[in-house]
Amino acid sequence: MKPSHVWMIAQAELKRIRNDKFLLLLLIFGVPILCTAFGFVAYKSPEEIHVAVFTDKSFEDGKTRQLIDEIDRSKSFSITGAYPFDSQEDVIQHLNQGDARAAIILNEGQAGIESIGVYLDARDPSIMQVIYSELPLVFGKYFSDISFEFLTSQGVSPQQAKQIVSPFETTFKTNARQDLKFFDFYASAAMVLIALGIPLLLTVTAITSERSTGTIERIFVSPYKRLEIIASKMIAHSVMMLMIAILTVATLKLVFDVALGNIGLVLLIIMLIGVNGVIFGLLISSITYTEAESVLMGVICFLGFMVLMTYLWPWETMHPAVEYMSYLIPFTYGIQAMRHVNMIGAGFSDVWLNLVILAGFIVIQALIASQVLRRRIA
């Protein structure tokens, strides 16, 4: 492999990208717009989730009203609909129509609330989880107050009553190096997704477009080796990747002030993921014949990587065989490294192995791509 050859083809490729002003404009504005959209969609932990409440008015006492007010006061919930509903059927219908995310049915007796039934809207698993996690806290506090009051009225001393109601203290924390906002939990994965998706899908047609325009014949009759062609295209697209990496990190930091660890490491990880995306795109491009084939295969692989790289679902939800498959793709190591650097404040010594694996994947894929680059023209 001659560096002068690689440099020459890389320069030609870069010129081609630079000359397409519209594409450059799309890249410069597209990436920040995408990052901004990500940030404003995963903007805050769910707030004002609509819940509908039904209670039997005939027994409604001050305490029930107090509980309903507490639900309404909570930042997470907002009581909706014509409270109080006339019947349980009405409140369930309200839920089924999608006007509320949960229906709370308070069954009262002479002594106060006897039971609470919560019906959750099954359509959105993330909202269901928030309700599961937040609503019992509101009920728990209410219930503790009642028990405490009841015990003290029975002659138990306040200290002892407190000990009976809450026999031990529980606290939940994370190992994050700083207080994380809602979007911080997703920002690292969003960076990886953008760093994978854009380069992968942009390079899938790098060689097939040469085929369709007929220029690949010219390259093949030139003295350039297959490896030189692949390496030069990889370098040219990696330059573009660096621009995407900087734009992504800068937008997320400037607009949303996301939690970032060592910036150098973050950029390095994005670069390695992007180069992996580029080389995988070239690999697809070298085994396909038309642009439509390349794009289709690129999309399928992208979606496959997206689900395997522990972005949407963790290893604990995977079938054991698929869990091993997720270790065979570079992006799993990328997302893990990125999350560790940004959220736990990990340094080079903590993620060096992931970086080595990412670099190893680049070398292996480049060798495979150069081997499979077919000289035959479809």
Q: Is residue 288 at the binding interface for another protein, with CB under 8 A as the rule?
A: yes
3-state secondary structure of 32: helix
Q: Which of 140, 158, 264, 360 binds another protein (CB under 8 A)?
A: 140
Within residues 235-274, the interface with another protein by CB under 8 A covers none
Evaluated on CA atoms 321, 324, 330, 335, the torsion sign reads positive
Between 194 and 268, name the residue whose CB sits nearer to another protein.
194
Q: What is the DSSP string of 276-315?
A: HHHHHHHHHHHH-SSHHHHHHHHHHHHHHHHHHTTSSS-G
Structure tokens at 332: 């799993």
Q: Under a CB-based contact definition with an 8 Å cutoff, are residues 233 and 207 in contact?
A: yes
Q: Is residue 282 at the binding interface for another protein, with CB under 8 A as the rule?
A: no
- Taking contact as CB under 8 A, which single stretch among the options 53-61, 79-87, 262-270, 308-316 is the one that binds another protein? 308-316
Structure tokens at 378: 């479809």
Q: Under a CB-based contact definition with an 8 Å cutoff, are residues 309 and 332 in contact?
A: yes
Q: Which of 299, 355, 357, 368 binds another protein (CB under 8 A)?
A: 299
The β-bridge relationship of strands 49-55 and 102-109 is parallel
Q: Is residue 10 at the binding interface for another protein, with CB under 8 A as the rule?
A: no
The verdict on whether omega for the bond into residue 3 sits within 30 degrees of 0, i.e. cis, is no
Distance of closest approach, residue 223 Cβ to another protein, in angstroms: 27
- Type of residue found at 3: P
The b-or-e profile of 361-374 (16+ CB within 10 A means b, else e) is bbeebbebbbeebb
Between 201 and 366, name the residue whose CB sits nearer to another protein.
201
Structure tokens at 60: 């409604």
Q: Which of 82, 250, 255, 300 binds another protein (CB under 8 A)?
A: 300
Q: Say how many Å lie between the first and final Cα of the chain, rounded.
A: 26
Q: Is residue 289 at the binding interface for another protein, with CB under 8 A as the rule?
A: yes
- Taking contact as CB under 8 A, which single stretch among the options 195-203, 225-233, 266-274, 363-371 is the one that binds another protein? 195-203
Distance of closest approach, residue 115 Cβ to another protein, in angstroms: 4
Distance of closest approach, residue 210 Cβ to another protein, in angstroms: 11
Q: Which of 167, 223, 349, 375 binds another protein (CB under 8 A)?
A: 167
Q: Is residue 112 at the binding interface for another protein, with CB under 8 A as the rule?
A: yes
- Taking contact as CB under 8 A, which single stretch among the options 54-62, 186-194, 272-280, 363-371 is the one that binds another protein? 186-194
Distances (CA, A) of 187 to 183, 230, 242, 247, 297: 6, 32, 18, 14, 27
Mark 39-78 with x for binding to another protein (rule: CB under 8 A) and - for no binding: -xxxxxxxxxx-----------------------------
Within residues 310-339, the interface with another protein by CB under 8 A covers 310, 312-314, 316-319, 321-322, 326, 336, 339
Instruction: Give the Cα separation of 238 and 232 in Å (integer).
Output: 10
Q: At what angle do helices 263-287 and 330-343 cross, to 10 degrees?
A: 160
> With CB under 8 A, what is the number of residues at the site for another protein?
121
- Taking contact as CB under 8 A, which single stretch among the options 158-166, 227-235, 262-270, 362-370 is the one that binds another protein? 158-166
